[in-house]
């Protein structure tokens, strides 16, 4: 037992704990499904796998055990991704789970400076991305708009779509569904904040549109 134990492993565990807490705290503040405990445990587990990998490999490949962490962590990442309608949520959390595992592996293999370089890089993009979006994308949004009209007013559909395209920066029809005497039209829109207000006024005031959602 003493042949494999080193005090350096304790330092690695503590460093991994700190790295996991830093990444996990950011997710916890945003009330995400994978928060402080999950991200920290993932980082610690990855560190342990990498330590065991090079300690027990002997003359073999020291990355063999660690390589399975890369593929295995994908299942955890997939578990926090879900789709609601046309929107997909959890991709950022899945990415953080992935990089937490990578940072944990780097710490386990003794690459502390590399691990914290990428930890800082990850935190930078997480916190700066919103600011970059705010200043460089000018409040542009992608919206999925659905609205219902009576089947009897089918000929009004093209005029409504044409009007919406004039309001939005870019838009096109995705699907058309008929249920009973109702038609449901789905559109993908690229639109600004100011145009959203104009769109809402148009949707509310148009007599053919019975309901809408975006």
Same domain assignment for residues 198 and 123? no
| Shared-domain flag, residues 59 and 106 | yes
Answer yes or no: is 1 within a domain: no
CA triple 75-112-26, angle to 5 deg: 55
pLDDT computed for residue 137 by the predictor: 56
CB 23 within 8 A of CB 96: yes
Last residue of a domain, one of 136, 160, 192: 136
Angle CA 47–49–55, to nearest 5 = 105
The position carrying tokens 């704990």 is: 17
Alpha-carbon span 43 to 81, nearest angstrom: 19
- DSSP assignment of 19-33, as one string? HHHHHHHHHHHTT-S
Contact present, 80 and 97 (Cβ < 8 Å) = yes
CATH classification at residue 171:
3.30.70.600
The phi, psi pair for 208, rounded to 5°, reads -80, -25
pLDDT at 118: 92
pLDDT single digits (tens) 107-161: 988 888 999 999 999 888 888 877 776 665 555 667 788 888 888 888 888 888 8
Number of domains in the chain: 2
> Which residues constitute the domain of residue 179?
140-213
The structure's pTM equals: 0.64
Question: Which regions of the chain are under pLDDT 70?
Answer: 1-5, 57-60, 62, 83-87, 133-141
């Amino acid at each position: 037992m003493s042949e494999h134990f080193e005090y350096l492993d304790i330092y690695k565990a503590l460093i991994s704990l700190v790295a996991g807490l830093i990444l996990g705290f950011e997710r916890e503040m945003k009330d995400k499904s994978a928060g402080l405990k999950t991200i920290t445990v993932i980082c610690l587990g990855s560190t342990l796998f990498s330590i065991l990998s090079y300690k027990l490999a002997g003359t073999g490949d020291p990355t063999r055990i660690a390589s399975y962490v890369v593929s295995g962590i994908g299942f955890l990442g997939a578990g926090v991704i879900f789709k609601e309608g046309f929107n997909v949520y959890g991709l950022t959390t899945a990415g953080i789970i992935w990089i937490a595992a990578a940072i944990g592996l780097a710490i386990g293999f003794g690459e502390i400076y590399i691990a914290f370089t990428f930890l800082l890089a990850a935190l930078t993009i997480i916190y700066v991305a919103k600011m970059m979006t705010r200043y460089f994308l000018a409040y542009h949004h992608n919206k999925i708009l659905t609205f219902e009209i009576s089947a009897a007013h089918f000929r009004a559909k093209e005029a409504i779509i044409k009007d919406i395209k004039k309001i939005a920066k870019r838009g096109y029809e995705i699907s058309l569904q008929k249920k009973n005497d109702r038609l449901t039209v789905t559109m993908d829109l690229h639109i600004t904040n100011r145009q959203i207000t104009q769109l809402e006024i148009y949707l509310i005031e148009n007599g053919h549109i019975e309901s809408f959602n975006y």
